[in-house]
């Protein structure tokens, strides 16, 4: 049996449909032809590393939007948890509730030590093609800076 693997650079990102912190349904395909998407998977709301990562994306959000990108965070937390997390830290971007972990599985986001949900960032261009993948549980700042470099290069291409 072949091992599942997430989308690689140059491949089309799997479409999905999940509820946001406001309860709206968000589909990846809604952004096709309109915006680059920075899709980042993180372990859990209100934990130190995830809060630092979310606040880093928040602090760079204007630069992402000026370059034509939408930032979307995904974890297994509930819509209610995401809503509280977004309000507490004034997060201007969408957080999606992947309660059953189906999208995490479709993107083959690995677990750290086999238990902690992994931290992976994808940059998906306007055509839905993956242009960048960065996976690191610890190097949180690189998720934001690496994604920003790719988004800016796509904006000038």
Q: Going by C-beta distance under 8 Å and a sequence separation of 6 or more, which residues neighbour residue 9?
A: 130, 131, 132, 133
Q: Which domains does the chain have, with CATH numbers?
A: 17-156 (3.40.30.10)
Task: Residue 96: name the closest of 112, 115, 72, 120 by CA.
Answer: 72
Q: Tell whether the model's pLDDT for residue 147 goes beyond 60.
A: yes
Which of the residues 18, 38, 39, 50 is marked catalytic? 50
Structure tokens at 1: 């049996």
Sign (positive or negative) of CA dihedral 31, 103, 15, 36: positive
Q: How confident is the model at residue 3 (pLDDT cuts 50, 70, 90)?
A: very low
Pair 95, 87: CB distance under 8 Å: no
Q: Per residue in 54-80, pLDDT tens?
A: 999 999 999 999 999 999 999 999 999
Q: What is the pLDDT of residue 118?
A: 79
pTM score, whole prediction = 0.89
Residue 55 annotated in active site: no
Q: What is the pLDDT of residue 126?
A: 94
Q: Tell whether the model's pLDDT for residue 1 goes beyond 60.
A: no
């Amino acid at each position: 049996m072949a091992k599942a693997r997430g989308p690689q650079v140059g491949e089309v990102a799997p479409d999905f449909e999940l509820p946001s912190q406001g309860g709206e349904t968000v589909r990846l395909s809604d952004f096709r032809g309109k915006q680059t998407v920075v899709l980042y998977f993180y372990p859990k709301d209100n934990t130190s590393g995830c809060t630092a990562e979310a606040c880093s994306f928040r602090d760079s959000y204007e630069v992402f939007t000026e370059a034509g990108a939408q930032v979307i965070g995904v974890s297994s937390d509930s819509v209610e948890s995401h809503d509280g997390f977004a309000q507490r830290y004034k997060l201007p971007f969408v957080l999606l509730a992947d309660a059953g972990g189906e999208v995490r599985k479709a993107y083959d986001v690995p677990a750290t030590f086999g238990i902690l949900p992994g931290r992976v960032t994808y940059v998906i261009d306007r055509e839905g093609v993956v242009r960048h993948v960065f996976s690191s549980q610890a190097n949180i700042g690189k998720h934001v800076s690496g994604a920003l470099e790719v988004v800016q290069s796509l904006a000038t291409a």
